[in-house]
A and B are shown apart, each in its own frame.
Chain A
Amino acid sequence: MKTLAELQAIREQMKNKMNIREESEAGTRIVVGMATCGIAAGARPVLTTLSEEVAKRELKDVLVTQTGCIGVCRFEPIVEVYEPGKEKVTYVHMTPEKARRIINDHIVNGQVVTEYTIGAAE
């Protein structure tokens, strides 16, 4: 027997777990390059960290996904952020720590972390 509060807790928890299954329409997409080059350079922990941060902060309309080789293998791990109506931002040489900062500064507070972008690296 579950109380109404317990049911509500289950509902919230499951919603967070399951919103991954919704096709996000015009939201933000964070794409991690996950080709062999990316994985070799450490893309996997980056991807995991991004996913965790998004879930922890209960960010709606933010999709963490992966893609193949982006084409500039020397900059891997690469993360691209697509926001509706804005220029794509490409972050390079990513680490889990950098990933947390991008979520905090860029995704949540709208401040692009310029120092991690491909522009700064080049």
Chain B
Amino acid sequence: MVRIDGRGDGNGLIEVRGLSKTYQRGSEEIHVLQGLNLDVDAGDFVAFMGPSGSGKTTLLNLLGGLDLPSAGNIRVAGDEITRMSARKLTAWRARHVGFVFQMYNLIPVLTAFQNVELPLLLTNLSKAERRRHVETALAVVGLADRMHHYPRQLSGGQEQRVGIARAIVPDPTFLLCDEPTGDLDRKSADEILDLVDRLVGEYSKTVLMVTHDPRAAERARVVLHLEKGVLVDAVTAGRAR
């Protein structure tokens, strides 16, 4: 269940209250997010839409602990992340958040396997355990046979699938996808969206996705519209699951 009125019961996976983000540009204050409320349950698939500059990516950055709000708070699985120190927040991110970027952001000098392995280097898993996890993640995204390929040897869609494998390999609490199909052709975009669908459907992942693409948004259970830093409506969309 997704709510934007701040009346959630407090049992959701993500609970955002009065979230604001203001940037200072010279003497001018830019209010990117203004008193935003949001409740997301575990297993939800939420898409954020809105015009450029509406605050979608800023919201995603705040939910992922990459940035700190000017006001308000964010609670994820009981952790109040807006009060964490930078060091704690980094550790929290490693444990709870899987990022999927529009430009894939793979490290070009590492193979698909090594890229996916990166988040696991932060854990105490043995080399053999890491290998097993990476192979599983690559198998889930359908790239088990490409694990020793470098990003330059993969298509855009395959690169994004490696990016998704990297995001899911530490089994994070939720996935944050920033325009995951923004740089792909239609066919590849559909394959990526099918994959995200599977992660939500088969693996019960919680996914929050920013997109400009209405066809991508259709896949989500709920589409939230942001305008001038405010969530204006929540539309139940997508396919009934």
Q: Do A and B bind each other?
A: no
Q: Residues of A at under 8 Å CB distance from B? A: none
Q: Residues of B at under 8 Å CB distance from A? A: none
